[in-house]
Amino acid sequence: MFYFVCALYAEAKPLISALSLRKDAFSCPYDTYFSEDSSVVLTISGMGPIAGAAASSYLLTRFGFRSEKDFLINFGSCAGKDPGLYLINKITDNASGRTFYPDMLYDLSDCGLPSSSEKALVTVPRVVSSLEDPESLYEMEASGIFQAASHVLPPHRMLFLKYVSDAGVENAKAVTAEYLSSCSEKYLPAVLSVLKKLEEACEEKPSIDEELLLSTSYALHLSETLRFELRQLFMYANASGKNMEKILNDLDADGKLDVSSKREGKVVLDAIRQKLI
């Protein structure tokens, strides 16, 4: 199943139409739309990181999530220097300064999203009138969505697709609903191509043991950044033919996996790296 979170109906409208999504007739806190075969569900979150976090939590709690098959996709507009559709590889929360990293495991170049389309994104609490960093993109929901969803989703099952609608505006009303929908419509073929690509990826045998990765991340109390580092070590072990499960079992036998803090978990992460490299 694909879970979509869009801040505004105008951003989601072309997607709702293209996928023939029907509005949920039951009373719920967010406008929610389904495909006939229940393979896609889309929720309109409203603007802001708290709204994004609450809508994501609602979506994943209500419908559940299968880490081996499902994806959460945040699709919508942002402010930026250059027009285009971008794949977000780094999210910084402006209010807290925290940074998050969606995993870039899938080659989406044939979907119109080559590596050059990867961009850093900053989540801000209000519409920006100018770009503090011209090389970054700015919007209002992604950090909240990532933080809420990361409690139940691995980072490689979250995708953030943002299209540039403006370079910053003094008045948010200057960016009309009609204009946002026309931008979404423009990039709709790429989004549909991404869905097809991810469906194919789900049918392939995973290259790493996702359950072992998740259980190890939780056992070591790793932050999102350190989880990303652990995933890279898993991928390195897989590519080099080394047995990550044996390495972890050996560390466990030595009592080194029994940790109670992120600091102790980082020490174990370094030990894993040393055994691999």
Same-domain pairing of 21 and 145: yes
Q: Which of 150, 183, 203 is the last residue of a domain?
A: 203
For residues 175-192, give the mean pLDDT.
96
Round to whole Å and give the CA distance between 86 and 13. Answer: 19
Confidence category of residue 44, pLDDT binned at 50, 70, 90: very high
Same-domain pairing of 193 and 146: yes
Confidence category of residue 133, pLDDT binned at 50, 70, 90: very high
Structural contact between residues 161 and 102, judged by C-beta atoms closer than 8 angstroms: no
Give all strands (DSSP E) within the chain, no chain letters.
2-6, 22-23, 32-34, 40-44, 71-79, 85-93, 99-100, 118-123, 137-139, 158-166
Same-domain pairing of 174 and 249: no
Same-domain pairing of 133 and 229: no
Same-domain pairing of 127 and 191: yes
Same-domain pairing of 160 and 234: no
CATH of residue 29's domain is 3.40.50.1580
Same-domain pairing of 96 and 186: yes
Residue 172 pLDDT exceeds 80: no
Residue 155 pLDDT exceeds 90: no
Same-domain pairing of 261 and 188: no
Query: Is residue 224 helix, strand or coil?
Result: helix
Domain range enclosing 235: 210-276
Q: Which of 203, 229, 248 is the last residue of a domain?
A: 203
Burial of 106 (0-12, 13-18, 19+ CB in 10 A): middle
Same-domain pairing of 169 and 129: yes
> How high is the pLDDT of residue 80?
95
> How high is the pLDDT of residue 188?
97
Domains: count for the chain? 2
Round to whole Å and give the CA distance between 54 and 205. Answer: 33
Could you say which DSSP state residue 86 is in? Answer: E
Residue 28 pLDDT exceeds 90: no
Same-domain pairing of 23 and 92: yes
Q: Which of 182, 203, 224 is the last residue of a domain?
A: 203
**Max alpha carbon distance in the chain (Å)?**
62
For residues 111-119, give the mean pLDDT.
92
Percent of the chain at pLDDT > 90 equals 60
**pLDDT tens across 91-111, in order?**
999 999 999 998 877 889 999
Other beta carbons within 10 Å of 56: 28
In single-letter form, the type of residue at position 264 comes to E
Round to whole Å and give the CA distance between 179 and 172. Answer: 12
Same-domain pairing of 36 and 118: yes
Residue 233 pLDDT exceeds 70: yes
Confidence category of residue 187, pLDDT binned at 50, 70, 90: very high
> How high is the pLDDT of residue 204?
57
Same-domain pairing of 109 and 59: yes
Percent of the chain at pLDDT > 70 equals 95
Confidence category of residue 163, pLDDT binned at 50, 70, 90: very high
